[in-house]
Structure 1
Amino acid sequence: MQISHLREMIVLAQNHSFTQTAIQLYTTQSAISKHISALEQDLGVALFLRDRNNVELTDAGSIFIEYAQRVVNDYNEGIVALNRFNAGINRNITVGYLAGAVSAFLPEVVSRFMESHSCINLEFHTQEIDGTFSGLEDDSLDMVITTEYIKFPTTIYHVEKLYRDHIAVIVPKDHRLASRESVHLKDLIGEKIIFSSPSFMIREAPIIENLIAPIRDKITLVQSANDIWSLFMLISSGRYVTVLFDHVRNYSDFDQRFAFLRLEEAPKHFDVVAVWKRRAESDVMMDLVTLLRDVISERGVL
């Protein structure tokens, strides 16, 4: 049974003529007759009484046509709703993001986006990596901007790459290592390395701890920072360094206040990505990501 056959049934019931119905629907009389016969065969009842001069609904047809009309109306409304969804009309889009990864770019992105999508309400929430994952899973977030160090299953999620990221050793500008572009784990021996507390950056902490495991007994490990600002305040004291994702340099003026050194033992790079569930894909998602890529490129972030 096809929606188009139900539409033809409805128009035929109004016109009482295969010829007029064919003209109205820009098809042939034989095609209409074939489709109505197929519909009757699917249902197991005769829907119309036919003679040379007229076509009338049978009693069964009179009963069924009310339901056929509802099905067609619901289908039409569904198509309209999907078109509005894809166009982003009267929609709320909730975005969770790693502040260090994109907060420097978002004001410009939002300004440009609203010029062509004024009917969309954008709602933003800063998240850590754990929050971006859980927000997508429970549908509290429509899109997240996060790191793909931990992979998203592409059968479920649509993943768009924004720029490359890596693991960095972050030190004050006057630190003994600050002039280097990269360091090895052995260069950190004897340092006090500060990490977040167990309740902050839940997914990040195990990643970093695994990386520094070979020198764990040759450093002092401190876990006392409850947020990113506290972490960098403690580094500013000159007593600590940290190992973290390079993207945090995009916070405020962190790039001017600290040196970000590539850790050679870490993966060479991974990606900062925009992610959403495939079942929620729409043109407006790609419009937002395209603008984000444009602004990131204009700022010289690769």
Structure 2
Amino acid sequence: MELRQLHYFVKVAKKEHVTQAAEELHVAQSAVSRQIHQLEEELGVKLFLQKGRNLQLTPAGQLFLKRAEVILSDLEKAVIEIHEFMDPERGEIRLGFPHSLGMSLVPQVVAAFRKQHPKVKFRFKQGMFPTLLRDMVQGDIDLAFISPFPDDHQSVCGEVLLTEHLLAILPPSHPLAGKEEIDLAELKDETFVMFSEGYSLRPIVWEACLEAGFVPKVGFEGEETDTIRGLVAAGMGVSLLPDMALRQTGPLQPAKVRIRTPSVTRTIGLIRRSNEKLPLVAKVFQAFLIDYFNNTLQDNH
């Protein structure tokens, strides 16, 4: 059995299609089919069944996939550890983060870190809250920024880096746009521009509105802070966004107003897998982040 066969098998299992797997692997379709056939002959079982134009794993294939993924993951970790042992400054950090932190925070901290460690590489994965937790548990990433911080997850641990206030954002022509602060209840009759289901900021805004005594009337939904900000600036409604998401400048910007009551905040945390040692380079980055948030970012909040 060869490692190449395991790589091909896992890719076909994920794509459920030999042609698509071959395209991603940059090899001929016949080469992939031949390796899968040889693997099945060696194991003495069928790993796939034809289902229309796609392939479906057999029960034996499902069992083998779990083991193959562990083997390949362990091999990748071993290669990383050897590279770090030879030169920790040339390691790779696999970092996950939500979309709301991708515009400014992640580029900011990565740039600051690489000034001190210019040869370290990064592999990034963006995702929503449940996606980041899944990627972390499955071993696809080493560290992840996450919001809100998961207090009681069995498989991940970490620390809260920052607690950030959310601000009300209003169209520039809104009657309350010139105020320094408002009560959230003053927006009870407004149309809200909300994040779509599955985004962690949505329940924070929703619960804050309920605490203020009203159910928000949702007129528009979006998946990016840029979209939310732009729709509000264009007069489509009001919303709540973290201060960090409102630091960009441009021709179309909403008015931002502090919320007096209730206090609306989100936590930003850094998570890793429980009971598993971080790669050395990721451990260096973790220590850098804790110091960076305690000193640089906290000074700006």
TM-score after normalising by structure 2:
0.58
Q: Of 231, 234, 256, which aligns to 1:237?
A: 234
Q: Name the CA distance, whole Å, in 1 between partners of 2:207 and 2:201.
A: 10
Equivalent position of 2:121 in the other structure: 121
| Helix, strand or coil at the partner of 1:180 | coil
Shift of 1:222: 1.6
User: Match of 1:153, SS?
Assistant: coil
CA contact (8 A) 1:86 1:282 kept: no
Counterparts of 1:214-253 in structure 2 under 5 Å?
214-216=213-215, 220-250=217-247, 252-253=248-249
Shift of 1:122: 0.7
Alignment correspondent of 1:109: 109
For residues 263 and 137 of structure 1, what CA distance do their matches in structure 2 show? Answer: 38
2:196 is aligned with what amino acid? Answer: S
Which amino acid counterpart does residue 165 of structure 1 have in structure 2? E
Determine if the alignment matches structure 1 residue 262 to structure 2 residue 239: no
Q: Which sections of structure 2, spanning at least 5 residues, go unmatched? A: 1-77
Give the direction of change, closer, same or farther, for the CA distance of 1:81–1:193 in structure 2 (3 Å limit): closer
Residue 90 (structure 1) shift = 5.2
* Cα distance in structure 2, aligned partners of 1:224 and 1:154: 29
Task: Please list the CA deviations of residues 62-108 of structure 1 after superposition, one character each: whole Å capped at 9, or x if unmatched.
Answer: xxxxxxxxxxxxxxxx9x95894797465432111234336424445
State whether structure 2 residue 151 is matched by structure 1 residue 166. Answer: no
- Provide the residue aligned with 2:270 in structure 1: 274
Correspondences of 1:48-87 after superposition (within 5 Å): 81=81, 84=84
Name the CA distance, whole Å, in 2 between partners of 1:182 and 1:121: 43
Q: Taking structure 1 as reference, are residues 281 and 81 closer, same or farther at Cα in structure 2, changes over 3 Å only?
A: closer
Give 1:194 deviation, angstroms: 1.4
SS of the counterpart of 1:186?
Answer: helix
Distance 1:125 1:155, change over 3 A: closer
- In our comparison, the structure showing a higher alpha carbon Rg is 1
CA distance in 2, matches of 1:87, 1:240: 53
Give the deviation of 1:294 after TM superposition.
Answer: 5.8
Distance 1:181 1:86, change over 3 A: farther
Equivalent residues, number = 217
CA separation of 1:195 and 1:111: change in aligned 2, threshold 3 A: closer
- Distance in structure 1 (CA, Å) of the matches to 2:273 and 2:86: 14
Cα–Cα, structure 1 residues 171 and 110, in superposed 2: closer, same or farther, change >3 Å? Answer: same
CA distance in 1, matches of 2:93, 2:208: 36
Q: Which residue of 1 aligns with 2:130?
A: 130
By how many angstroms is 1:116 displaced?
Answer: 4.7
Say whether the 8 Å CA contact 1:92–1:121 is kept in structure 2: yes
Deviation (angstroms), 1:187: 0.7
For 1:187-244, what per-residue CA distance to the aligned partner results, in whole angstroms no more than 9, with x for missing partners? 112211111333xx4343233223323312xx53224324333222211112310124
The 10-residue stretch of structure 1 (156-165 or 138-147) with the greater mean CA deviation from structure 2: 156-165
C-alpha separation in 1, matches of 2:110 and 2:257:
28
Cross-structure match for 1:144: 144
Change (3 A) 1:228 1:130: farther
Q: Give CA-to-partner distance per residue, 1:149-184, whole Å, 9 cap, x none.
A: x52337643423332213332223443223334432
Partner of 1:186: 185
The answer for unaligned runs of 5 or more in structure 1 is 1-77
Whole-angstrom CA distance in 2 between matches of 1:158 and 1:103: 25
| Separation in structure 2 between the aligned mates of residue 221 and residue 241 of structure 1, nearest angstrom | 10
